[in-house]
Amino acid sequence: MTYRLRRWTDADLPLLHAANVPEMMEHLAGPESAQRIRRRHEQYIRGWDSGRPHMYTVRRDDASEALGSIGWWESELRGEPCLETGWMVPPAHQRQGVATAAVRLLVDEARTAVREHDLPTTLLACPNVDNVASNALCRRAGFTHEGTLEDDYRGVPMTLNIWTISLGGPV
Ligand SMILES: CC(C)(COP(=O)(O)OP(=O)(O)OC[C@H]1O[C@@H](n2cnc3c(N)ncnc32)[C@H](O)[C@@H]1OP(=O)(O)O)[C@@H](O)C(=O)NCCC(=O)NCCS
């Protein structure tokens, strides 16, 4: 099976609704309003022109629908610029290696962007410490664990793991 990433388009709004359920949003401060989902979708479309964020859907050659989302955007870790990533795969497609394939492709995409646009060479992922699947994913994809940080996501205080991977070096 071949996976690929496709730039977010106007047709991808249903994926955000499929992910806006309590079991998917357990570690992300719970489901969002329809209005916030629409705003997020518009940011994802505009991001490709404005530079933030660069979001993709995850595709597989045997499936017509999007299997999940992933992306990168410019961020900061301990006062230093970095790129940050985030992902989701709705329940119907989980535990089949979709996110693992997507992260590998995303790292390749981000490495290309770093080479072409002189961007920071660290990619950061910050899953909630209780998010077993996302933390397993970081480990599996070769990120290094660098401790934890306290943050406030949509008004909910959280302890997040800090995982990083280098985007620099030889191709
Ligand atoms: C995190 C998420 C993207 C994983 O997607 P996925 O396609 O099911 O992941 P994969 O099949 O590639 O599995 C990746 C790793 O996670 C583990 N994993 C996946 N789901 C798991 C679960 N429910 N419980 C425990 N481990 C799990 C897999 O065993 C695998 O680890 P391994 O390689 O050591 O065996 C998905 O669960 C999700 O969207 N969760 C809700 C949204 C979310 O939390 N997003 C992240 C915010 S940081």
Which CATH number applies to 3-166?
3.40.630.30
Exposure string of 81-116, with b = 16+ CB inside 10 Å and e = fewer, is: ebbbbbbbbbeebbeeebbebbbebbbebbbeebee
Span from the CA of 116 to the centroid of ligand 1 (angstroms) = 31
Nearest Cα residue to atom 39 of ligand 1: 88
Nearest Cα residue to atom 35 of ligand 1: 136
Q: Where are the domains of the chain?
A: 3-166
Q: Is the per-residue pLDDT at 171 higher than 60?
A: no
Q: Is the per-residue pLDDT at 130 higher than 60?
A: yes
- pLDDT tens-digit map of 63-113: 999 999 999 999 999 999 999 999 999 999 999 999 999 999 999 999 999
Q: Is the CB of 24 under 6 A from ligand 1?
A: yes
Span from the CA of 13 to the centroid of ligand 1 (angstroms) = 22
